[in-house]
Amino acid sequence: MPDGAVSRNRVKRLFRELTRQLRGQLLPGHAIVVFPKRDSITQPFAVLKEVWLSTLQHQRLFRIHED
């Protein structure tokens, strides 16, 4: 995998997409700052998504839907 800006930009795009997929499910009024680890670039999207969801749940950033 390329180093430098290309890798950083790819990781940014991956996390933007992960967050886009959760639009409407996250609590408003929060700024989320991501500092991904270097090995994020080599992880499959499904693995990143699982870790991202777990992190957001741990931080209680999901809306609670009342039915």
The CA-based diameter of the chain, rounded to the nearest angstrom, is: 47
Q: Is residue 66 part of a domain?
A: no
- The pLDDT assigned to 1 comes to 57
Residue 66 has pLDDT above 90, yes or no: no
- Whether residue 24 lies inside any domain: the answer is yes
The tally of domains found in the chain comes to 1
More confident residue, 48 or 66: 48
Q: Which helix (H) or strand (E) holds 11?
A: helix 5-21
pLDDT value at 65 more than 90: no
Whether 23 is in a domain gets the answer yes
**pLDDT tens digits, 8-63:** 899 999 999 998 999 889 999 988 898 988 888 899 999 999 999 999 999 999 88
pLDDT of residue 2: 61
Return the SS3 of 45.
Answer: helix
Question: Percentage helix, strand, coil, to 5, in the chain?
Answer: 55, 5, 45
Residue 21's domain spans which residues? 5-58
